[in-house]
Structure 1
């Protein structure tokens, strides 16, 4: 592996950002570039695009080894010194295995909207759709919760980036879509939203709405350059959420949902739910902690769910 000096990158005046080539990924990188330009005007950035196996594969993600399919090539570029920074949707970064050795999250950006949106060509809400309407989603989390709230609707598998899914909807492959509000905001398509679901109806995935900046852990210059983009409250929230996922040993097909919330007074809450895919089993835990240790809160909520039988529910799902 080449050192920073012999790649012509001895100073932090240029940061090379590796990115998947999807419109969403590139929009996320542009946000980071803009925030970095405002914070550190002396630093130039350039984008190093990669196509991941997850982008090329349109089948079931679990056959590729889960969500890591979107991060492997990005990690490789970082570790090989071909790039200095990677931008990840934290909800796509597996928590059942740690970050690749030699890399670290240097910052989590301010959190975007964590809710899910419904997109229907005529603007119908879930309650207004006729029985048998086909909802395009491959998320076990969404399928399980829709089975609870709207058992009369049918879920059909739907992969591809958000733009591609909107095309499939317009081509009639489903009657409606569910997508993250934050993702639609990033690609400038909030005009398509028919309904935004409250978190009580549709609990978000762990890490929803958060972008994490990953660096090599020995690259102190890049880490120092981007650390100021981080949000202290989000750091607490994600630390609690990812510890929960780690203790539950959740994988990308796990019907686990939840979110932490840092309050102004320093307290931290974590609400988490585990579902069977048919929505018949719902486990629920919600706890509060002081400002001290988000990881302990994540562990405690995970243990509360394990006491209710979460292990059996998670392990019955193939991955």
Structure 2
């Protein structure tokens, strides 16, 4: 029996159920274990209650204590610093990593009037939306997908910006009024990907997870997360990143785009490198961004 730890939110349990079903399809018995994290019970802004890690620390504690065998994380919520004794056993095929707009009256980003109130709790999104010069007013929000979309339906907000992957996993893509081009808004590092964490010495679980790993997704998110780590930033920092495996002149290569919000605007750069060394690519692009500050 594999005990799978998951947060209690609808999105977290949907994501964990996807992983559980994959494992069951491979012949494993899986039990879901619901765990409450700090981020689930504290409604204050993320940066005020600890920033990076508030959604994963309780799951990691349960792993290390042997109470669960694996934990499923939204990879964008997972701190970049490694934890002794734990390992990412699998990073499955990534969902669409882009951000989406859910707006009143079916409006797109360009159709929202100047002064429109847009809800997002991410500094990354605020910085990039401000840089578009559309005159939108961003306001911080917390809560699950239902709560955020209800703010638009109730007229409290003109729009909210959310991760497309979450809405897809919840079967709510019909409510999206626009999928945002990464040229406008780069997603968070790791957005759309799941990380399945386990104890580093649990060889049986590691073997069970191996078939779920997608090498192209792992390479892409490793580059993105290394960019974030090199910038010494947390998930609440205004950093966007998106990597993709593309066909180069000499075969597959990794293409990485990065964005860093500053007081005077957003710095955007891109670079390409080896699929086999995503860490070097992420570090190099981060250093180049830092040189432009």
Q: TM-score, normalised by structure 2?
A: 0.95
Q: Is there any run of 5+ residues in structure 1 with no aligned partner, and where?
A: 1-13, 310-319
Give the distance between the partners of 2:219 and 2:122, measured in 1 at CA. 26
Deviation at residue 142 of structure 1 after TM alignment: 0.8
Name which of 21, 25, 30 aligns with 2:8. 21
Corresponding residue number in structure 1 for 2:109: 126
Corresponding residue number in structure 1 for 2:143: 160
Corresponding residue number in structure 1 for 2:82: 99
Corresponding residue number in structure 2 for 1:289: 273
Map residues 154-303 of structure 1 onto 2, 5 A cutoff: 154-264=137-247, 265-276=251-262, 280-303=264-287
Name which of 11, 21, 44 aligns with 1:59. 44
Asked whether 1:78 is paired with 2:63, we answer yes
Give the distance between the partners of 2:74 and 2:213, measured in 1 at CA. 14
TM superposition outliers: structure 1 runs of 4+ over 4 Å = none
Aligned length: 290
Q: Is the Cα–Cα contact under 8 Å of residues 76 and 191 in structure 2 kept in the other structure? A: yes
Give the distance between the partners of 1:117 and 1:291, measured in 2 at CA. 28
Kindly name which structure, 1 or 2, has the bigger radius of gyration based on alpha carbons: 1
Residues 250-273 of structure 1: CA deviation (Å, up to 9, x unaligned): 112211101111124321111111
Deviation at residue 297 of structure 1 after TM alignment: 0.8
Name which of 7, 10, 22 aligns with 1:35. 22
Q: Is the Cα–Cα contact under 8 Å of residues 156 and 174 in structure 1 kept in the other structure? A: no
Q: Is the Cα–Cα contact under 8 Å of residues 261 and 270 in structure 1 kept in the other structure? A: yes
Q: TM-score, normalised by structure 1?
A: 0.88
Residues 169-216 of structure 1: CA deviation (Å, up to 9, x unaligned): 222221111111111001111111111111101111110110010001
Give the distance between the partners of 1:288 and 1:252, measured in 2 at CA. 23
Residues 64-100 of structure 1: CA deviation (Å, up to 9, x unaligned): 11131111111111111110000111111122xx232
Give the distance between the partners of 2:223 and 2:235, measured in 1 at CA. 18
Corresponding residue number in structure 2 for 1:117: 100
Q: Secondary structure at the match of 2:47?
A: helix
Give the distance between the partners of 2:158 and 2:275, measured in 1 at CA. 45
Residues 24-80 of structure 1: CA deviation (Å, up to 9, x unaligned): 000001110122222x12x11011101111111111111211131111111111111
Q: Is there any run of 5+ residues in structure 2 with no aligned partner, and where?
A: none
Give the distance between the partners of 1:263 and 1:135, measured in 2 at CA. 34
Aligned pair in 2 of structure 1 residues 118, 150: CA closer, same or farther (>3 Å)? farther
Give the distance between the partners of 1:137 and 1:72, measured in 2 at CA. 23
